[in-house]
Amino acid sequence: MTALPQKMLFNVDEYYRMADAGILTEDHRVELIQGEIVRMPPIGSRHAAVVNRVSQILMVPLVGKAVVTVQNPVRLDDHSEPEPDVAVLRLRDDFYAETHPHPEDVILLVEVSDTSYEFDTKVKLPLYAENGIPEVWIVHVPNDEVWVFREPSGRRYRHKWRFRRGQMLAPGGFPELELDAARVLG
């Protein structure tokens, strides 16, 4: 019998041990996705501007109601710890100092997609649904649109909507925070 080569997958603890040993550094820009260490593309200026804009749009009205983080880890399970561009989390007194947020802590995740659209929609989005993330926004920079996904079911979302400039959207967890898609897109 011939043995075929197999991928070696890592769990979150092994991933952090690699960082502690200096194998992975902040300069590497990687995420742990389904046990694989995935190199993320460099962040372009338009991508960064949208992340800054979205975080400010959400942060200011949600002070005291939620924690808004930028490009910080969310531990989905033992083999996946992505770093979404923006995360809106349940308010906690320790601001997640004791542990990274888990799926039950997440109200909304935002991914800004320019070169990563395929990866965000085909890999991350099903992973978010599978782990019960209630709402995901994908800001598709090249197409100048915001996709909103709600109500996870298995590896899919039951509802999805596309928003363009002039159309109003709001996070499901904070429906009073209605905003024009143009504010998100810039």
Residue 10 lies in a domain: no
Distance between CA 150 and CA 145 in Å, rounded?
Answer: 17
pLDDT (tens digit, 0 to 9) for every residue of the chain, 186 residues total? 678 888 889 999 999 999 999 999 888 899 999 999 999 988 999 999 999 999 999 999 999 999 999 999 999 999 999 999 999 999 999 999 999 999 999 999 999 999 899 999 999 999 999 999 999 999 999 999 999 999 999 999 999 999 999 999 999 999 999 999 999 998
For residue 140, the domain's CATH number is: 3.90.1570.10
The domain tally of the chain equals 1
Whether 91 and 147 have beta carbons less than 8 Å apart is answered as no
Residue 174 lies in a domain: yes
Whether 55 and 84 have beta carbons less than 8 Å apart is answered as no
Q: What domain range includes position 92?
A: 43-185
43's CB contacts (< 8 A; 6+ apart) are: 51
pTM of the model: 0.94
Residue 34 lies in a domain: no
Residue 30 lies in a domain: no
Q: For the stretch 54-71, what's the b/e string if a residue is b when 16 or more beta carbons lie within 10 angstroms of its beta carbon? A: bbebbbeebeeebbbbbb
Q: What's the Rg (C-alpha) of the chain?
A: 17
